[in-house]
Chain A
């Protein structure tokens, strides 16, 4: 029977209260959101907080909406809410692609968006997705609120810029017309963590042909890509025609820049192959969606 070590438990009544508790208890305290990463880690003694601060009552951290030209996703929004959010799917179908393949419906009822990115597991699907979308993390602490771009959010495996007495409050993604996005994952069985996965968001200048890529964001999950992305491939894509040849070269560059490690999910060269191939597939799908939207408009 797996049981966590002893700890104390308090339920936060507001974000400020949670921050005050984190400040008071210091490094021994941790917040628990859905608990679907933290509780398993506590059972295995990979985490041993002495004080657990439950933030499930903090409705101020919930909700998914468009405001101020941004899609705003509260840290306590559950995976199931993001999957069910029509506005998220309309602006960034990539988020629904990703949510459909994260864990299973019952885990998705509990796991949160904030918990996922704060966990910063190298295989976390949303880390790649939010990196591709150039989301901004809104972080609250005793000193106030700060915003950190997703590309500066992860400081290493299982590490983020969120300080020990800070709370991730929200993720914000600018809403921009003319784009398409997609997420593609390869897993060994339904609901498993990714062997590899790729995300692409792409904006096209419509032309007589396939259109020109005006801007692009890529995300790579579980393949050891620096900052969950492939900057060199993004640079290559910008300003080029959205053709199969362009995508193939971007995939080659992405594969070259990742550093996968062999594990029970597969050997390194297979993961590298997937990084390239999945980059091509997400770009293809994102471009098709961008064109379909262009025709609607």
Chain B
């Protein structure tokens, strides 16, 4: 079947099998390997992308279900001004070790800060509850997201 999916602002038309999962469309058909594919059972969150502005686990969404919708992946975080603040904060605060969980963590973190610019540590932990870091670096992930919140606040304050 033919699908039309807008990914990071670019429209893609593809002929796909209805059983193709969104995560594989992104990685194998569109070459966007930033989105990771881990457990395949909607538990680990490595595959989190936004669909129409909402984080979803792309291993449990059919590519066909994304047709006509807007998808944002980790490749779409970077803007004209360079890396997104959450990316810079993950670097700064050592929010990753092997980096496998990082794309999903970044997508959820960006969404959280867009909706709650000053989240408490508890709110951050709740937001990433569906995401597993096998390196168990949760402390630094939480610290990175707090850092991004503070950085954006002081920047907005300065503007």
Seen from chain A, the residues whose Cβ lies within 8 Å of a Cβ on chain B are 1-9, 11, 32, 35-36, 39-40, 42-43, 52, 54, 56, 103-107, 109-110, 190-191
Contacts and interface: CB of A to CB of B under 8 A. Distances in A.
Given A9-B1, A105-B130, A106-B48, A40 B19 contact: no
Interface in B26-47: 40-42, 45
Contact of B54 (A9, A109, A190): A109
B123 to A, nearest CB: 10
B126 interface: yes
B56 A109 contact: yes
Contacts of B48: 106
B60 interface: yes
Nearest to B39: A2
A260 to B, nearest CB: 24
B40 A103 contact: no
A191 B57 CA distance: 15
23 contacts: A2-B40, A6-B17, A6-B19, A8-B18, A9-B18, A9-B64, A32-B62, A35-B60, A35-B62, A35-B65, A36-B42, A39-B61, A42-B19, A43-B40, A54-B64, A105-B55, A105-B129, A106-B108, A107-B57, A107-B130, A109-B55, A110-B60, A190-B129
Interface string B100-129: 000000001000000000000000001101
Nearest to A3: B19
Contact of A40 (B42, B56, B108, B127): B42
The 3 A-B pairs with the shortest beta carbon distances in the complex, nearest first, are A104-B130, A9-B18, A106-B130
B65 A54 contact: yes
A190 B132 CA distance: 12
B61 A35 contact: yes
Contacts of B40: 1-2, 43
B77 interface: no
A7 B60 contact: no
A22 B93 CA distance: 53
By CB atoms of chain B within 10 A, which of A1, A4, A9, A54 has the most? A9
Contacts of B54: 109
Nearest to B41: A40
Given A3-B19, A6-B19, A56 B65 contact: yes
B87 interface: no
B131 interface: yes
Nearest to B64: A9
Given A2-B40, A6-B18, A39-B62, 12 more contacts: A6-B19, A9-B18, A35-B65, A52-B62, A104-B129, A104-B130, A105-B55, A105-B126, A106-B56, A106-B57, A109-B55, A190-B129
Contacts of A6: 17-19
A103 B18 contact: no
B21 interface: yes
Given A1-B40, A4-B19, A5-B19, A40 B60 contact: yes
A6 B20 CA distance: 10
A105 B55 CA distance: 9
A191 B41 CA distance: 14
A73 to B, nearest CB: 19
